[in-house]
Amino acid sequence: MLQRFSLFLSRTPTWFAPLNVAAAAFRSLSSARAVAFIALALALCSGVQAQTQSINLYTTREPGLMKPLLEAFTAQTGIKVATVFLKDGLLERVKAEGMSSPADVLMAVDIGNLLDLSESKLFQAINSEALNAAIPAPLRSSDGTWFAFSLRDRVLYADKSLKLESFRYEDLASPAYKGKVCIRSGQHPYNNALIASMIAHRGVAQTEQWLRGVKANLARKAAGGDRDVARDILGGICDLGLANAYYAGQMKTAAAGTDARKWGDAIQVIRPTFAQTGGTFVNISGAGVAAHAPNKVGAIAFLEYLISPSAQNLYARVNFEYPVRQGVALDPTVESFGLLKADLTPLTEIAKHRKEASLLVDRLGFDR
Ligand code: FE
């Protein structure tokens, strides 16, 4: 058998020089070494195959949140995921890489970021029965370029001593809360989308009036992150502010004695509603197949995994988000925040007002 392998190599045409070199090397080997040589050759071949069994994921999502999902996907499918975490500049990077981009899947939070990727033609359209069946139409693009996998409601964190049965986003501008409000930058995508939503409901003029009122109520500069609202409530700097609900889930379940747990324990979570619709603002996280994905099949398999009941359960349990898939249980802490009645205004409608929202924040000097 070894001789036959040697013979085959010796007959390879001269134009394939590397193989002839390998044949010469092989003929000079002892039997035991030849076996090792074949093992090495097979390992190299399977290495090539393994390469086709991996995908490259570009994501802006925090590594800690993604890890359990990625590990479960690899365990289930054998497809490895090489991840590039980008805090900022996902769009710029993929754009710069152009047609030679190794990215298979692009994942981001916020409808605005997904639409920016889509409008820059950085996604390709796919048609997946599994995705279309499990994700309601308003939570995926009509052209099959991006898909939402989780929902994230923007809620009120309030000092536990405040007696609040309900709250409207409009109330944040009430003079009753002068000097008591903490919030992150008005230009952050989370707030940009909320302000865009207010514009969709009330128009620019009324939203400007509202935002002026919110600014007048600020206890400190609009800066930092969502968790800092809870931190500053504990620190007595403010009494209330807006933040995403999943951070409250993270903080309230953090290890006892940690700062995060102390911040989480200091707040109550209330779901505000818009006066006009009676719904709470809900944004999304999502993903799509990259325009020049080297492994399109693997990329689709990954997206289909993300909508599976087990992955959706991880979104709920590890990330404290709302699963997009029907019938997946919520994390008990998130469930304790009460029933979510989402505002049903399509996110693509809200996203049309992103630019106006950003200009408004600048015009009012909200972040200054
Ligand atoms: Fe976040």
- The pLDDT assigned to 306 comes to 98
On whether both 38 and 13 belong to a single domain, the answer is yes
What letter represents residue 238's amino acid? C
On whether both 301 and 169 belong to a single domain, the answer is no
On whether both 198 and 290 belong to a single domain, the answer is no
Average pLDDT along the chain:
88
Q: Does residue 23 surpass a pLDDT of 90?
A: no
Q: Does residue 315 surpass a pLDDT of 60?
A: yes
CATH number for the domain harbouring residue 106: 3.40.190.10
Q: Please name the residues in contact with 188: beta carbons below 8 A apart, sequence gap of 6 or more.
A: none
On whether both 240 and 358 belong to a single domain, the answer is yes
- The pTM of this model reads 0.82
Average pLDDT over residues 259-274: 97
pLDDT band at 158 (very low <50, low <70, confident <90, very high): very high
- The pLDDT assigned to 62 comes to 85
- What is the extent of the structural domain holding 36? 2-44
- The pLDDT assigned to 269 comes to 97
On whether both 103 and 145 belong to a single domain, the answer is yes
On whether both 75 and 221 belong to a single domain, the answer is no
- Residue 196 falls inside a structural domain: yes
Distance 216 CA to ligand 1 centre (A): 26
Distance 244 CA to ligand 1 centre (A): 7
Residues 69-101 pLDDT 10s? 999 999 999 999 999 999 899 999 999 999 999
Q: Does residue 49 surpass a pLDDT of 60?
A: no
| Phi, psi of 224, rounded to the nearest 5 degrees | 80, -155
What is the maximal distance between C-alpha atoms in the chain? 91
Distance 59 CA to ligand 1 centre (A): 13
Please calculate the CA angle 280-283-284 and round it to the nearest 5 degrees.
140
Distance 280 CA to ligand 1 centre (A): 17
- Residue 49 falls inside a structural domain: no
- Residue 50 falls inside a structural domain: no
Spatial separation of the C-alpha atoms in residues 283 and 321, rounded to whole Å: 11
**First-to-last CA distance in the chain?**
78
Residues 316-338 pLDDT 10s? 999 999 999 999 999 999 999 99
Which tokens hold the place of 138? Answer: 């308003």
- Residue 216 falls inside a structural domain: yes
Distance 139 CA to ligand 1 centre (A): 18
Distance 223 CA to ligand 1 centre (A): 14
Q: At what angle do helices 111-119 and 90-97 cross, to 10 degrees?
A: 20
Q: At what angle do helices 2-10 and 31-52 cross, to 10 degrees?
A: 70
- The pLDDT assigned to 64 comes to 84
CB atoms closer than 10 angstroms to residue 87: 7
Q: Does residue 341 surpass a pLDDT of 80?
A: yes
Q: Please name the residues in contact with 31: beta carbons below 8 A apart, sequence gap of 6 or more.
A: 2
Residues 182-227 pLDDT 10s? 999 999 999 999 999 999 999 999 999 999 999 999 999 999 999 9
- How many independent structural domains does the chain possess? 3
> How does DSSP assign 216-253, residue by residue?
HHBSS-S-S-SHHHHHHHHTTS-SEEEEEHHHHHHHHT
- The pLDDT assigned to 70 comes to 96
